[in-house]
Amino acid sequence: MGIELAIAIIGDVLRRAVGLADTLLGMLFTNQSTIELMRHAALLDLYHFEEPTFYDKLEKARQQTNVRTALLSELLLQAQGFVSLISPAVGVIAFSPWLIVILVVAVLPSFIGETYFNRKRYSLYGWWTPQRRQLDYIRYVGASAQTAKEVKIFNLSDFLIACYDELSKIFYQHSAKLSVRTSIFGALFFLLGTLAYYGAYGTILWQAVQGAISIEQLTFPAGSFLRLRELLQEQMNRLASIASQAMYLQDYFEFFDIQPQIKAPENALRVNQPLQSGFVFENVGFRYPGSEKWAIRHASFALRPGEKIALVGENGAGKTTLVKLMARLYDPTEGRILLDGKDLRDYDPADLRENIGVIFQDFVRYSMTAAENIAIGSINDCENEPQIADAARKSLAEPLIEPLPLRYQQMLGKRFSEGIDLSGGEWQKISIARAYMRKAQLLILDEPTAALDARAEHEVFVRFSELMQGNDAVLISHRFSTVRMADRILYLEKGELK
């Protein structure tokens, strides 16, 4: 009794310890695999993020960060299960080897069936990934601060709900069909296996009835036979489950197979401080991946150190695209861009971007504090309060930050508690402050003042040209008052410089 009590206690403690280890490892696995996913995503090129199939892969990989922790313990259980097979198998073989054959044949149909339907479910899951993302998107549009205004004004909620309903029903139908087939075939295969098993069992009993074996001889093989069948079935089921999980886990690794095209070459050059001959575009042409249209064509111009140029042109003329090429977010499709006489591709892209500050027209309004929103321009300085305040002063953001209840520590945006939202122009002043956080040799402002009132715009530009003395600047604007400040004006029309 004492031994039994000890075993009961030790058994319980061990079970809990294993459960605890599983839970803890599971959480660590989720954290670690998510971090690795983020790290890899950060390495990839901009064009990846403009490709729907990329998001399918990312979504599939992301799903694996939560659920695949059972795989390791199942693999270990499989090894353990194999060991426990040995003793009943020896018993059965000693009695009659062909019984083993019958047992294996009996569990095979159900194993093959499982594997087959697991594959089907996996391909349904893969096929459905784009639509699942669409469902997520509909849900987001239906309930988020960014969209709520328009959803109300345009009365979109019924439309969104109908979209969701329609799409989710399609998945339900496919999934239900597969589930019904899995159940029916699963039952059939199990029946087949059970019949084979009882056939063999009956044969043993028949031999006993006939007196070919005695009752004592019967007890051992019959027990082993039953046990072996259970164990085999369990092993096969687990094998099918492991194989299926491995299929899903493959999605995780496939994401890591995606490699960036834009990366530092061996012996990468570093940007000269200060620039010597500046940027030169030599017959540069660019088409967005997957697009037939030239966004930029035959672009040849130079940007000398200390020069300020303005880029003007109609919507879609290619102004923003030109900027993306300078910051090497893309490589030209034809021609080349030189920096101090060397191809831009010979430089380390990270170092190049350190030296270039770009404020895009669709800059991001981060749900972070005012200080952090400004420090975005040079995130390593996010603790440097004087530098942040200085940048805010230069960009005219200071007068709007001072009255905020928590000033620079004020959470902006409405997503988190105590967040305060700003007007369009106020946000724009914050975004311009990002440019002043950098010690960039080239600063590019893509329609930085579109949301500013006339007086603010004038003031922003007067300061900008003062502060950028001696550095390169590219200004994109549709307003004459802005472009007048540049040394030179480049006019883009349908991707070509005129």
Ligand X SMILES: Nc1ncnc2c1ncn2[C@@H]1O[C@H](COP(=O)(O)OP(=O)(O)OP(=O)(O)O)[C@@H](O)[C@H]1O
Q: What is the binding site for ligand X (CB under 6 A)?
A: 50, 288, 291, 295, 313, 315-321, 361
Closest approach, Cβ 449 to Mg ion, in A, equals: 14
Closest approach, Cβ 351 to ligand X, in A, equals: 25
Q: 214 forms bridges with which residues in the sheet?
A: none
Closest approach, Cβ 366 to Mg ion, in A, equals: 21
Q: What does 291 interact with, of ligand X, Mg ion, none (CB < 5 to 8 A by kind)? A: ligand X
Q: Which residue has the tokens 């001696």?
A: 470
Contact call for residues 309 and 491 (beta carbons, < 8 A): no
| Closer by beta carbon to Mg ion, 228 or else 311 | 311
Sheet containing 342-343: which strands, arranged edge to edge? 294-303, 279-287, 334-339, 342-343
B/e letters for 45-57, b = 16+ CB within 10 Å, e = fewer, are: bebbeeeeebbbb
- Reduced to 3 states, what is the DSSP secondary structure of residue 331? coil
Closest approach, Cβ 393 to ligand X, in A, equals: 29
| Closer by beta carbon to ligand X, 214 or else 291 | 291
| Closer by beta carbon to ligand X, 121 or else 494 | 494
Q: Which amino acid is at 367?
A: S
User: What does the block give as tokens for 262?
Assistant: 């834009």
Q: What does 288 interact with, of Mg ion, ligand X, none (CB < 5 to 8 A by kind)? A: ligand X
Taking the C-alpha atoms of residue 315 and residue 478, their distance in angstroms, rounded to an integer, is 9
DSSP conformation class of 163: H
| Closer by beta carbon to ligand X, 232 or else 473 | 473
| Closer by beta carbon to Mg ion, 60 or else 319 | 319
Cis before 274 (ω within 30): yes
| Closer by beta carbon to ligand X, 233 or else 320 | 320
| Closer by beta carbon to ligand X, 134 or else 361 | 361
Residues that bind Mg ion (CB under 5 A): 319-320
Closest approach, Cβ 31 to ligand X, in A, equals: 33
DSSP element (H, E) containing 281: strand 279-287
Closest approach, Cβ 37 to ligand X, in A, equals: 23
| Closer by beta carbon to ligand X, 278 or else 318 | 318
Taking the C-alpha atoms of residue 352 and residue 328, their distance in angstroms, rounded to an integer, is 8
Closest approach, Cβ 285 to ligand X, in A, equals: 12
In the complex, which residue's CB is closest to Mg ion? 320
Closest approach, Cβ 327 to ligand X, in A, equals: 13
Give me the DSSP letters along 87-138: HHHHHHHHH-HHHHHHHHHHHHHHHHHHHHHHHHHHHHHHHHHHHHHHHHHH
| Closer by beta carbon to ligand X, 295 or else 440 | 295
| Closer by beta carbon to ligand X, 193 or else 318 | 318
159, exposed or middle or buried, with CB in 10 Å at 0-12, 13-18, 19+? middle
- Reduced to 3 states, what is the DSSP secondary structure of residue 446? strand
Q: What does 50 interact with, of ligand X, Mg ion, none (CB < 5 to 8 A by kind)? A: ligand X
| Closer by beta carbon to ligand X, 124 or else 329 | 329
Closest approach, Cβ 495 to ligand X, in A, equals: 7
Closest approach, Cβ 319 to Mg ion, in A, equals: 5
Taking the C-alpha atoms of residue 449 and residue 461, their distance in angstroms, rounded to an integer, is 9
Residues making up the chain, counted from first to last: 498
Give CA separation, 339 vs 27, 281, 307, 336, in Å.
47, 9, 14, 10
Q: What does 385 interact with, of ligand X, Mg ion, none (CB < 5 to 8 A by kind)? A: none
Q: What does 147 interact with, of Mg ion, ligand X, none (CB < 5 to 8 A by kind)? A: none
Sign of CA dihedral 388, 393, 397, 400: positive
Taking the C-alpha atoms of residue 319 and residue 496, their distance in angstroms, rounded to an integer, is 10
For residue 258, which of 63, 66, 61, 122 has the smallest C-alpha distance? 61
For residue 245, which of 141, 121, 385, 339 has the smallest C-alpha distance? 121
Contact call for residues 225 and 202 (beta carbons, < 8 A): no
